[in-house]
Structure formats: C-alpha cells, structure tokens
Structure 1
C-alpha cells in the first residue's frame, strides 16, 4: 500500500474514532489519547495529521458534514415525489436521533453549542455545514411546491430554516427527556407546515 494511502487511511481512522466517541461525550470531554487509542494509532502520530486539537476539530466537522450531506443527497435524489423524499429524510433523522448508539449521526446536535464558543474555525464549519443542509431542504420544498406534492405558507427558504431549527431543537429535547416525544411532535408539525 502506498504511503499516501496509508496516511489517508490513518487520518480517516482517527476522524472516525473521534466521531464515535464525541457523539457520546462531546468535544471537551474527550482527550486525544482516548481517540488515538480507539483508532489504534500511536500517540506521537497525531501532529503528523493535525496541527492542533482545534485543527483536528475543524477537520472532524468537515468530515462529518461531507458524509452527512452525501447521505442526505442519497435520500433526496430518489425517484419519488419531492414530499415523499423530504419526509423520508425526516424519518431517517428521527431514527438516527432516537437510538442510544447514534454512531456520530448527531454531531451538529451534540457539538453545536459547545464548540461554537470554543473555536471560530469550528463555528464556521458548523455554519457552512448547517447552511448546506438547509439549502438542500429548501430545494426539496421548492421541488415539492413545483410538483404539487406539498405546499407551504411562507417561501421555501424560511420554511426550510424553520424546519431545520425545529428538528435540531427537538433532537436536543429528545436527549434531555430521553424520549421520542419531541421528535414525534416535530414530525406532526412538519406535516402541518408542508400541508401533508
């Protein structure tokens, strides 16, 4: 295996291990030693891949959003009416937020408030990533209005932002209450806002 491939694989192993651990513990509570041990990487290797923990956090969030958006695109580009694709996305969100082992599917929920005050670079990655999510929701709402599978009272962008904000908040409340009820209420309100 070429050295560049090994290097890329090692970097990815570190990021994957960090994502699994930080999805449960948060950013500040996780030390680099724990991440490297989970990834099976020698401690001295970290700074070969990342200049600092802050640069590591930025890379972690970029990797998370790249994977999340690719997964989101797979759901939203299926050959179904736009409303069905959009509701499949919300169903997937509910499933990934409702299990104890969310396997990193919830880093925006878990780390959002925590790292936004710790690092401007990480805050900007969160902003860019969440803006990309809202943009995809907006396009799906506009497609649904166009194909007649849904309707909205506001413009697509305002509705998309409101829905994303609502789902993000419901995910936090589901964690606080250890209950799916906030997600179920949000699903009902989502259907109402989209006139489904």
Structure 2
C-alpha cells in the first residue's frame, strides 16, 4: 500500500531528527535523510520547497512532539507542581545523558548552528523554546499557589525563574556534551533544587 502524503512527510522529518541529533544540520545531506526514511530521492521537493523550509518544518515537528511530552509530564495527576517540575528535569537529564552525553535534544545540538544559517529555523527555535519556558512558568506559578514551590530569584517572579532554569539546563547540556560527563547535569539538578527550595 503506498504511503499517505502526511506519513511520507512525517517519515522524512523523523529520519532527519534522528540523523541530525548526531551529526548536525549542515553535515547531513538530503539524500542521506531520504535514504534513511525509505523515500525516493527525487521526491524531496514534492514535500519541501528548499532545505531551509525542510529545516524549519523539522524544528516545528520536533517542538510539537517535545511540547506534547512536556505537557504530559507537567500535568501528571496525583503529584504536586514541584514533583511534576522535577520529573521534567529528570527526563531532561536522562535524554541528555544517552550516547555519552550526546543527547536527543535538537535545541542543544542545532541551536547555535542553525541560528546562524537560517532565519526561519532560528525563529522556529525561538518560538519552541519560548513555549517551553511558558510551560515552566505556569508550573512554577502553580507550585507557588499549591505551596509546593518557593523561589527567591527576581522577587520570586515565575517567568524569570523559568527562564533562568531553562537557560541553566540548556547550558549544562552543552557542557555535558563537551566533556561527555553527566555530572554537569547532576550539578544542575542540585542547583535547581536549591533555587526552588526543594
């Protein structure tokens, strides 16, 4: 049975995410992605107008999945907001600790590279990371309300705290990749607990 248009497009995007999480964006050719996806080489431009448009679609697809997973973690029933938030960071630690700290996060892998190559990809990254910080902010605000979280940064402003935490984890993930050492994420976990008084 032939693949449905959306399924083929999704197969290409999924294959690209897997490959580019290890190799980066510029180092991967379209033919390699199509071969991995099992899609005929001549069909790329049927689904994407250019490599730039393809890169933007890949980032948006990545964030759609990432944010859906984040929403599930941050809405897990029967837990306090603090427990949900720490589960999110634990999941981050686990996904960034795989493959000798090479991780699975496209923001960590591609952020600096594609922000210089493509304005549309940079904007997709900006929108996706802003949406992640929005979710952290809401969880911190809920934690203050349910009494499971207290914060002392920027007068306890949930937005500032969310941004500080996200930036700290992103930076620690890059350093963990450089050193191939998970202990950087363990240090960040401890710093997160201190920041949130957990």
Q: Residues of 1 paired with 2:58 and 2:80: CA distance?
A: 34
* SS in structure 2 of the partner of residue 195 of structure 1: coil
Q: CA deviation at 1:105?
A: 3.2
The superposition leaves residues 14-50 of structure 1 with CA deviations (integer Å, 9 ceiling, x where unpaired) of: 0000000000000000000100000000111000000
Q: Residues of 2 paired with 1:35 and 1:11: CA distance?
A: 11
Mapped contact 1:135–1:157 kept (Cα < 8 A): yes
Q: How many residues align?
A: 194
User: Corresponding residue for 1:112?
Assistant: 111
Mapped contact 1:81–1:149 kept (Cα < 8 A): yes
Mapped contact 1:82–1:143 kept (Cα < 8 A): yes
User: Corresponding residue for 1:150?
Assistant: 149
Q: Which runs of 5+ in 2 are unaligned?
A: none
User: Corresponding residue for 2:178?
Assistant: 176
Q: Residues of 2 paired with 1:155 and 1:22: CA distance?
A: 36
Q: Residues of 1 paired with 2:29 and 2:101: CA distance?
A: 20
TM-score between the two structures when normalised by the length of structure 1: 0.96
Given the superposition, is the C-alpha separation of residues 68 and 23 from structure 1 closer, same or farther in structure 2, using an over 3 Å criterion? same
Given the superposition, is the C-alpha separation of residues 102 and 45 from structure 1 closer, same or farther in structure 2, using an over 3 Å criterion? farther
User: Corresponding residue for 1:48?
Assistant: 46
Given the superposition, is the C-alpha separation of residues 93 and 145 from structure 1 closer, same or farther in structure 2, using an over 3 Å criterion? same
Given the superposition, is the C-alpha separation of residues 102 and 52 from structure 1 closer, same or farther in structure 2, using an over 3 Å criterion? farther
Aligned-residue CA RMSD in angstroms? 1.5
Mapped contact 1:20–1:104 kept (Cα < 8 A): no
The superposition leaves residues 35-85 of structure 1 with CA deviations (integer Å, 9 ceiling, x where unpaired) of: 000000011100000000000000000000000000000100012100000
Q: Residues of 1 paired with 2:180 and 2:59: CA distance?
A: 25
Mapped contact 1:20–1:103 kept (Cα < 8 A): no
Q: Residues of 2 paired with 1:105 and 1:179: CA distance?
A: 15
Q: Which runs of 5+ in 1 are unaligned?
A: none
* SS in structure 1 of the partner of residue 117 of structure 2: coil
- Structure 1 segments of 4+ aligned residues over 4 angstroms from their partners: 101-104
User: Corresponding residue for 1:88?
Assistant: 87
